[in-house]
Amino acid sequence: MKIIFMVLAFFSASAWADPINSMAELAMLPPYCKGTMLIRQLSKDPVPLEQYVAIYGPSFYHLHHYCWALNSENKANMMNNKKSHDDIMVDALRNLQYVLTNASPDFVLLPDIYNSQARMLFSMHRDGEAVLALEKAIELKPGYVPAVSRLSDYFVHIGDKGKAIRTLETGIDNTENAGGLIKKLAALGVTYQGTPGSAIKKDDPVKEASPAANPDAASPSSAPPGDATQPVQAGSRPANNPYCRFCP
């Protein structure tokens, strides 16, 4: 019975798959995708799967579903009509939800995944659900800049400047990497008066992967993406990559 269940689960998950078929597609995904289950068959990643699991935890075994979701999102964004876009995005969200359902509560990439969920939901005009996803990302990591920035932008979009300001100020209080958030706050006519990172909890269970723990890089970078579409190589940044928070 256990074997039957595993087989059914495999085929059920495969029904949502949007396999990465080329290194060019893989280059548009986070660098850790090349080390995930099934995608390794394409990438020929020499880093043992167990090494990734040691870095990210057992939830890494599920992470190929997230990579599939991002691959679907990339394809959906090339569609010329909303129905085609949304049809592909439905499968993307299913794969993403699979990871959220099966990952451990302390999985280091959860803020990233919730932020991606919000981005996908916004693209389908499901704003209420998107806001909830951003709030979950920020609850896990109050100083998570991408989610704080996106949520403040949403409040500006709907004309709630007060919430946008409060969101930015709280985010700045919770990260030392606050330059971009401070600029956003200034654009709203407010000068930040506190100390960035003053509210950081030292025992926060969800932290960004450390440079030493990243098989792809010696240090992360916040440099903007470029235009190249070359395959991901160790020690290189795949350009034009919106997910490249852990790229060198």
Flag whether pLDDT at 213 surpasses 60: no
pLDDT > 70? residue 218 = no
Instruction: State the Cα–Cα distance between residues 120 and 242, nearest whole angstrom.
Output: 13
Distance CA 49, CA 41 (A): 12
- Tens of pLDDT, residue by residue over 34-81, are 999 999 999 999 999 999 999 999 999 999 999 999 999 999 999 999
What band does 190 get if pLDDT is binned at 50, 70 and 90? very high
Q: What is the pLDDT at residue 134?
A: 98
Minimal CA–CA distance to 123: which of 92, 100, 163, 149?
92
Give the dihedral sign, CA 71/75/78/84. Answer: negative
For the segment 119-149, what is each residue's pLDDT rounded down to a tens digit?
A: 999 999 999 999 999 999 999 999 999 999 9
Fill in the DSSP letter of residue 67. Answer: H
- Report the amino acid identity of residue 69: A
pTM above 0.85, yes or no: no
Does the pLDDT value for residue 227 go beyond 60? no
Among the listed residues 98, 93, 22, the one whose alpha carbon sits nearest the alpha carbon of residue 64: 98
Instruction: Label residues 74-88 b or e (16+ Cβ within 10 Å = b).
Output: bbbeeeeeeeebbeb
